A = this chain, B = another copy of it.
Amino acid sequence: MSHATSRLAAATLAAVAALAGPARAGDPLPSWNEGPAKQAIVAFVAKVTTEGGRDFVPVAERIAVFDNDGTLWCEQPVPVQLYFVIDRVKALAPQHPEWKEQEPFASLLKGDLKGALAGGQHALLELLLATHAGMTTTEFEQVVVEWIATARHPKSGRLFTEMVYQPMLELLALLKANGFKNYIVSGGGVEFMRPWTERVYGIPPEQVVGSSIQTKFERRGGTAVLARLPEIDFIDDKEGKPVGIHRHIGRRPIAAFGNSGGDQQMLEWTQAGGGARFELLVLHDDAAREFAYGPARGLPDTKSGAFPPELDELAKSAGWTVVRMKEDWKQVFAGG
């Protein structure tokens, strides 16, 4: 670049920066449209951080909890961890010739996910344990690190870690900048999330709460390891979420963010504390930019872009903030 060109470039950059302007630079939530949801978030953060104010909360007590699937990243057409299960079954199949004849593995290996899951919870559990146990915690972490680096969403072709919601990244950053400690509290596997949540969300492993299988201390070749066992330890969903929060954090959150009936108890538990509280549900009603499935749990069992009536009523009577993706979010995914 010549000296003149470089000066022109610098001037252009300055002009663009000026256009973007102080208003935008001062807006911590630029991907959020103006509206009641954005206003409610900004007002809550302002009131709990105003020293001397009636609703002031000391930094140490600023705990916020976030569901992951459908709240921080895309959970459609099926939750990301299920793609991990499918890929792991394929990778492990050569060591398990019996899987060719044995359900739910046989269907999965033929690419028939519906057939594989026809066996319900039992089939899902069998797939989970076969792919998540049988190695040390260190080995499992490496498997996740390698998979998440290349695995892509079947529809968009983008990395799963790019299918995260830009408005929620801005919300996480806003809370962090205001002294909040952000936790993930997810039904997903805790060891499936921890290897990448810091890089993608700025949330370190010790602030991730999730479902888990049992581990066992062993010595192998004189070295201490933790072996992953094919036994469920804890399901961090529905009634399990407040239990997991209390067990892990030992403080009641002052803000909770979810998107489905699996998060209801976490929001109720948060709200039942004294002082200023904030609860928010993301409503998936945007078929054009994402999916319109409302609050579907797991596999898409509804085409409706609305909450089921019970959750809708509860959100209204409890005064929970509802984010409608279609109207509240200027941009859905990180990176556009």
Contact = CB atoms under 8 A, between A and B. Distances in A.
6 contacts: A60-B204, A181-B206, A190-B247, A212-B247, A224-B265, A233-B247
Interface residues on A, range: 35 or more
Interface string A54-71: 000000100100000000
A250 B217 contact: no
A178 to B, nearest CB: 18
B217 A269 contact: yes
Contact of A250 (B63, B205, B243): B205
B243 A216 contact: yes
Interface in A204-248: 204-206, 208, 212, 215-217, 219, 223-226, 233, 239-240, 242-243, 246-248
Q: How many copies does the complex hold?
A: 2
A194 interface: yes
A194 B243 CA distance: 16
Contact of A239 (B190, B217, B269): B217
Given A205-B251, A217-B269, A251-B206, A246 B226 contact: yes
A145 to B, nearest CB: 13
Contacts of A331: none
What are the 6 closest A-B residue pairs judged by CB atoms, nearest first? A205-B250, A217-B239, A224-B272, A224-B268, A194-B250, A224-B269
A137 B246 contact: yes
Given A60-B204, A265-B217, A226 B242 contact: yes
A260 interface: no
A91 interface: no
Interface of A: 60, 63, 137, 181, 190-191, 194, 198, 204-206, 208, 212, 215-217, 219, 223-226, 233, 239-240, 242-243, 246-251, 265, 268-269, 271-272
Contacts of A225: 272
A229 to B, nearest CB: 11
A82 to B, nearest CB: 22
A243 B217 contact: yes
Contacts of A223: 272
Contacts of A194: 250
Given A242-B217, A242-B224, A242-B226, A206 B269 contact: no
Nearest to A195: B250
